[in-house]
Structure 1
Amino acid sequence: MEISTINSLQTPKLSIQNNQAQKVTPANAQGQFSSSLKNAIDQLNEAQITSDKKTNALASGEIDDLHDVMITAQKASLTLQTAIEVQRKAIDAYNEVMRMQV
C-alpha cells in the first residue's frame, strides 16, 4: 500500500487544440477534484480496513508477526491524522474566503 503524493492534486493543465490554449472548465476542475478526493478517502478506508484485519488476525492467533501489525496500524493512524489535518486546512481556507469582503 502506498500513500499517494500531493503531485496528484496538481493544478488543472491547459489543453491545446488547433494551436489555441483552452483552460479547463470549472466543471472539469470540479470533477478532477472530486475524483482525487474520492481516491484519497478510498485509500484511507483501505488502510483502516487492512489494519483492522491484521489486528484481528493477530488477536485470533492466525498470524504472529507483531511488527507487521504495528507498522500497518501506524500507517493507518498516520494516514488518518493527515486526512484530518487536510480537512482542517480546507475548512480554514473556506472560512477565510467567506470572510473576504467583495
Structure 2
Amino acid sequence: MVNPINGLPQIAVRDNSGPSASEVHSKFGDSLKNAIDGVNNAQVESNEMTKALARGEVDDLHNVMITSQKASIMMSTATEVQSKVIEAYKEVMRMQV
C-alpha cells in the first residue's frame, strides 16, 4: 500500500498478539506425546493381533500383516524423526553466538 501523502510504501505494523512461548511449548509437548502414544498404540495393536492369530482366534492373516506393517512403518518414521531432531540440535549447538 502506498502512502498518498509522500508516495512511499507504508510499513505494516506486526501484531504480537500470537500465542506465548509457554503455550507453544505446551502445544508442542502435547503433539509429541500424541505422536508417541500413536506409535505405542500401533505396536500394542500389532502384538495383540499377532497373539490372536497364534491362538487361532483370528483367521484373517491379511489384516494381521497390514497391522504389523503399519506398526513397523510408524516405528521407523519415529526413529527417523528422532535422528533428524538430534542432528538439528547438534547443529544448533555448533553455532557460534
Band of TM-score, shorter chain = 0.7 to 0.9
SS at match of 1:22: coil
- Report the TM-score when normalising by structure 2: 0.83
Structure 1 unaligned residues grouped into runs of 5+:
1-19
Task: Give the residue type in structure 2 aligned to 1:41.
Answer: I
1:29 — aligned with what?
Answer: 24
Task: Give the residue type in structure 2 aligned to 1:88.
Answer: S
- The alignment's C-alpha RMSD in Å is 0.9
Q: CA deviation at 1:75?
A: 0.1
Q: How far apart, in 2, do the equivalents of 1:87 and 1:50 lie?
A: 22
Q: Number of aligned residue pairs: give it.
A: 83
Between Structure 1 and Structure 2, whose CA radius of gyration is higher? 2
Q: How far apart, in 1, do the equivalents of 2:87 and 2:27 lie?
A: 22
Q: How far apart, in 2, do the equivalents of 1:29 and 1:98 lie?
A: 22
% identity of equivalent residues: 55
- Report the TM-score when normalising by structure 1: 0.79
Q: CA deviation at 1:23?
A: 2.5
2:69 — aligned with what?
Answer: 74
Q: CA deviation at 1:96?
A: 0.3
1:99 — aligned with what?
Answer: 94
Q: CA deviation at 1:71?
A: 0.3
Task: Give the residue type in structure 1 aligned to 2:37.
Answer: D
